[in-house]
Structure 1
Amino acid sequence: MERLEEARVQEGFHALLQSALLHAKTEGLLSDADLQRADADFQITAPSLTLFFAALQARGDPPSIQAPSGAFELTRDNAPESFASFFALWQSCVPKIKSLNSEARHDLALLLCDREAASSPLRGDVARLAADIKTVAIDIVQRRTFQMRFQADLDEALGHRASTEYTPPPGYETGASEQKSSQTGRRPPPLPPKNGALPPQTSGALPPDEDTLSLIRETLFAALGDSIATNPSLRDVMRRGPTWASRAYYASLCLAILDVALTRVATHAAEVEVRTVQLNDHAVEPIRRSSCPANLVSLLVQLGHVAERCQSLREADDERAIKDAERGQETPEGARLVDELTQRLLGDVGERRRSEDIERREADLQRQVGETAIMINRLAMAMFEIPSFRERQADAFRVLGAITAL
C-alpha cells in the first residue's frame, strides 16, 4: 500500500489537536490560562491528550485513525516512514487504554497533563502508558511542521479571544542564523573546528544570573561536541534533509544533557552541584543550588532530577554487569539501560521496548528509561526557550552541518 503524504497526515492531526484542546477544556483538564502560557510542559501535554482521545476513538485491529474530514484513514501500512515507528508505539497503547476502567482512564489523562493521579497507589500499567504516549507526543512537538502550526491551534481553541505566549523556535536550517545575522548587520560567529568542539562564548563581566546561565550553557555545549563525535547516527539524521533538522537539534541537546547529568552533576539531599567548564582560563567554582540566582534555581533543580534518574540507571547497569561477571557471562551488547536511553533520545522506539513478554522488573526498568527520556526532552525544550540558548543554536548546527559535510 502506498504511504500517505506527510502533509495530509499533519493536516489531519492538527484538526484532531484543535478538537482535543476544546474537549480537554470542557472536561476541566485544561484552562485558557494553560493554553495562553503554552510552556514546554504544555507543548507535550497538548499532543499527548490528542493521542489519548484518538486512542479512545480508534477502530480496527491493528488500530487506525480516521481523519476528521473523512478523507483518509491512517493505518500501519500507509503511515509515513518518518512516523511509522512512533505510530506503531501508539497502536500498541490503544487496546490497553480501551481496557482501562473509567478511574484508570481519568488517572491517565491527569498524568498526561502533568497532574497528580486521583488514585493511590498509581497503577503501574497506567504510568507506563503515560510514558509511551508522551514519547510519541515529544516526537510530534519537536517537528518543525508542528511548531509552525501550533500557535494557530491554540488561537482556535481560545476562540481568538486571547493571545498566547507561544512562539515557534527560529529555523533549524544550518544557514538560517547566518541569514538573520546578515539582515541585522551582524556577522555570525566563526565556524568551529571540524573536531566538533564548540568555542565558549563570553562577553566580559556579566550579572550573576547571566554569568551562571552562561556557565551552564557552555558546559552543555562542550558536551555537545563529544555527543556528536560518539553518536554518528546524528549525522544520518542531518543527511535526511532540512525537515529532520529539528530532530537533530533536540537529539544533540538531549545527549549533551545526558552527558552532563552522568559526569558533572552531584546531588546531596536538597543540594545540587554542577561542575562547569572553565572559561577564560579562570578556575570556576561549581554551581550550587544554595548559591544559584533565584531565577535559575528551577533549571538547576530539574537538571538535578535528571541526573539522579540517569545515575540510577547507570547503577543498575553496573549491578547487572557485576552479576553477569560473577556468572562468567558477558552483558549482551545493547542491553545497558544507559545505551537504551541514548537510543531513545536519538528517536529509536524499537520493538524491544514494546515487548509484552519481558519480566516485571524489566518492565519497570523500561518504564524508568522512558520516563527519564521524557524528563531530558522536557528540559531540552525548556532550555531552548531561553534566549541565550537559542542564540547558541547557530553554533550547534554549524557543527552538525560541518560534520555532515565530511
Structure 2
Amino acid sequence: MTATDELTLSEDYVQDAFHSYLKSSLTQAKVERLLDVDVLSSAEADIMIAGPALCLYFAALRCTTLPPSVPLPRLPKATPPHQLTESNCPPSFLPYLRIWAQNVTPIQSLTPESQHDLARAICSLPPLQVGGGSDDIPRIAGDLRAVAIEISQRRTFQERYGDDLQAAIDAGQDISSPGRRQVKASFKPPPVYYPSPTPSPEPSPRTQTTQLPSAPSTSSLPPPDLPPRPPPKPTHNRNQSSSSLLVPSSPYSSTSASSSKQQISRPPSPTILSTTSPAIELIRETLYATLADVISLHPSIRSLLKSDPPRAYFASVALAILDMSINCIDPHDGSARGVLGQRLTLIECPAELRPFMKKLGAIGAEIRKMEDEDSIHAVQLLSSGAMEIPEPRMDRVREALEKGVSVGGRGGEVGFVNRVNGLTLGMTRLKAFRERQGEVFKVLAGVGR
C-alpha cells in the first residue's frame, strides 16, 4: 500500500467513482436482460434497490485483492488511480464497504450459473437453475440489497440516479434518428424539507442549492387542512400523541414488540377525514398519524431530522409501516382499521394499494411469528438455567430500520428488514402519498422541538 492510498479519500471522489461504475453496471444489466428499458425508465421502488446492488455485485466480480478492495476508475481530476480500502475509505461509506467485502469471496466462489442467478435475485427475478442453485444466493442478495437501500437514501445518490438510469437507457440506442421515440427515465428524487428553528417551518437557506420541487408541486395543491398544534404538555402521554397534529393515530398502537399484542384505545381528535373519505386517504392518513408517533417516541430520529432529513423521513416511515402491520391490519382477513375507527377490506381497497395491504399483512404475520419463536426460545433457555437470553429479533429489526442495516439486524433479519424497506420505498413513491408528503414532513419536522 502506498502512502497515497493511506490518505482518506474524499466523499465526492468516491461518489463520482460509484456513479461511473453504476452507469456501466446498469448498461451491462440491460445487455444481459436483467433489466429492460421499461424497468430502467420506471419510477418503481425496486429500481432504486436493484441498480446500486448490481453495481456492488459487478464490483465483487472484478475484485482481485485480499482483503477485498475496489479499483476506482481514473476520473479526469484524480490521478493516480486508487484502490478503495478500509484504510482510505471515507467514514460514512465504511459500513457499506465492510458488508460488501464480506461477500466478495462467497460471490467469487459461486459457479457461473449461480452467479447469474444471484444477479437475477438482486433484480427480484426467479432463478434459472432447477432448485435455485447455491443456498448462499438469498443471503448474499439480501446483504447487497440492504446496502443498496442505505445508498438509495443518500440525497447525493437520489439527485444523480436519474442521470445514471438515462445513460443506461440511451446506451446502444441511436437516439438521434428522426421519428425515434426517446425513452426518458421517470425517476425523480423525492422532495426535501429542512426543519427551521422557528414555530412555522420554512426552507432553510441551504435548500436553495439542494431542494428540488416536489412532484406534484405543493404550490398547485390547496392549503393543508391541518389542525393547529396543541400547546406543549409537561410530560408525554402516549394516549395524547403528537399525531393529533395530523389525524388521530390508529386506535391500535404499540411502542415496542413486547406490547404489540395489546390494543390501546385512544379518543378521537379532529381530522381532515370524514366517514365518506376515499379509502386511499384512510390508509395514507393512518400511516402519517403513526409516523408522527414514531418521530415523537424516537429521539434519535428527531436528531436525524436536523442532520439528514431524507434518511430520517425514510426511517420513520419504515418504523410506521412496521407499527401499522401489527396494529392496523387484521391478521385474519387482512382488513385495515384506521382513523375514526374506519375499516377497509381488501375488496374495498383501491387496486393500486391492494398489493401494499397484502404486504402489510404478511409483515405483521412474520412479526408475530418472530415474537412467538423468541418467547418459546427464551422460556427454554430460562428453564435450562441460562442467566441471559438473546436480544429479541424485533429489537434488532427496529434498530436496523432506524439506524441502518450495518448497525442493527443480523442474518435472517436482513431479509425481513429489506422487505419492510422495500415496502417503504414503494408506498412513499405512490402519487397518493407523495402529494401530501411535503406538507406532512414540514409538520412532522416540528414534532420533536
Superposition TM-score, scaled by structure 2 size? 0.76
Give me the CA root mean square deviation.
Answer: 2.8
Corresponding residue for 2:242?
A: 196
Deviations 1:71-111 (A, max 9, x none): 33321122222222122111111111111111211111110
Q: Which residues of 2 match residues 143-162 of structure 1 at below 5 A? A: 143-159=154-170, 161-162=182-183
Query: Aligned pairs, how many?
Result: 379
3-state secondary structure, aligned to 2:331: strand
Corresponding residue for 1:346?
A: 402
Corresponding residue for 1:259?
A: 323
Determine whether 1:308 maps to 2:319. Answer: no
Aligned equivalent of 2:302, options 235, 241, 244: 235
The 10-residue stretch of structure 1 (217-226 or 9-18) with the greater mean CA deviation from structure 2: 217-226
The 10-residue stretch of structure 1 (311-320 or 142-151) with the greater mean CA deviation from structure 2: 311-320
Kindly indicate whether the alpha-carbon contact (under 8 Å) linking 1:321 and 1:330 is maintained by their aligned counterparts in 2: no
Aligned equivalent of 1:393, options 433, 437, 448: 437
Corresponding residue for 2:105?
A: 95
Corresponding residue for 1:80?
A: 90
Displacement, 1:403?
4.8
Deviations 1:45-74 (A, max 9, x none): 111111100111123222111222263332
Aligned equivalent of 1:277, options 307, 315, 339: 339
Displacement, 1:258?
0.7
Determine whether 1:248 maps to 2:304. Answer: no
Q: Which has the higher helix share?
A: 1
Displacement, 1:221?
2.1
Corresponding residue for 1:382?
A: 426
Distance 1:94 1:257 in 2: 33
Distance 1:352 1:303 in 2: 21
Corresponding residue for 1:363?
A: none
Displacement, 1:205?
7.2
Determine whether 1:138 maps to 2:149. Answer: yes
Displacement, 1:139?
0.6
Corresponding residue for 1:357?
A: none
Corresponding residue for 1:216?
A: 283
Displacement, 1:265?
1.9
Displacement, 1:297?
1.4
Q: Are the structure 2 counterparts of residues 183 and 304 from structure 1 closer, same or farther at C-alpha, using a change threshold of 3 Å?
A: closer
3-state secondary structure, aligned to 2:339: coil
Distance 1:54 1:155 in 2: 21
Distance 1:313 1:395 in 2: 36
Corresponding residue for 1:169?
A: 190
Corresponding residue for 1:362?
A: none
3-state secondary structure, aligned to 1:95: helix
Determine whether 1:293 maps to 2:350. Answer: yes
Determine whether 1:13 maps to 2:22. Answer: no
Tell me which structure has the larger Cα radius of gyration. Answer: 2
Percent identity at matched positions? 33
3-state secondary structure, aligned to 1:294: coil
Q: Unaligned 5+ residue runs, structure 1?
A: 355-365
Letter paired with 1:82: S
Determine whether 1:48 maps to 2:48. Answer: no
Distance 2:151 2:228 in 1: 31
The 10-residue stretch of structure 1 (141-150 or 75-84) with the greater mean CA deviation from structure 2: 75-84
3-state secondary structure, aligned to 1:306: helix
Distance 1:277 1:330 in 2: 43
Q: Are the structure 2 counterparts of residues 402 and 157 from structure 1 closer, same or farther at C-alpha, using a change threshold of 3 Å?
A: same
Determine whether 1:127 maps to 2:138. Answer: yes
Corresponding residue for 1:24?
A: 29
The 10-residue stretch of structure 1 (291-300 or 9-18) with the greater mean CA deviation from structure 2: 291-300
Distance 1:292 1:60 in 2: 52
Letter paired with 2:401: L
Letter paired with 1:217: R
Superposition TM-score, scaled by structure 1 size? 0.84
Kindly indicate whether the alpha-carbon contact (under 8 Å) linking 1:20 and 1:50 is maintained by their aligned counterparts in 2: yes
Letter paired with 1:262: I
3-state secondary structure, aligned to 2:353: helix
Q: Indicate the structure whose relative CO is greater, using CA pairs within 8 Å and at least 6 residues apart.
A: 1
The 10-residue stretch of structure 1 (50-59 or 69-78) with the greater mean CA deviation from structure 2: 69-78
Displacement, 1:14?
0.8
Kindly indicate whether the alpha-carbon contact (under 8 Å) linking 1:265 and 1:272 is maintained by their aligned counterparts in 2: yes
Displacement, 1:346?
1.6
Distance 2:311 2:441 in 1: 12
Displacement, 1:2?
4.0
Q: Unaligned 5+ residue runs, structure 2?
A: 1-5, 176-181, 204-212, 233-240, 248-270
Distance 1:57 1:50 in 2: 11
Displacement, 1:387?
3.0
Distance 1:33 1:263 in 2: 37
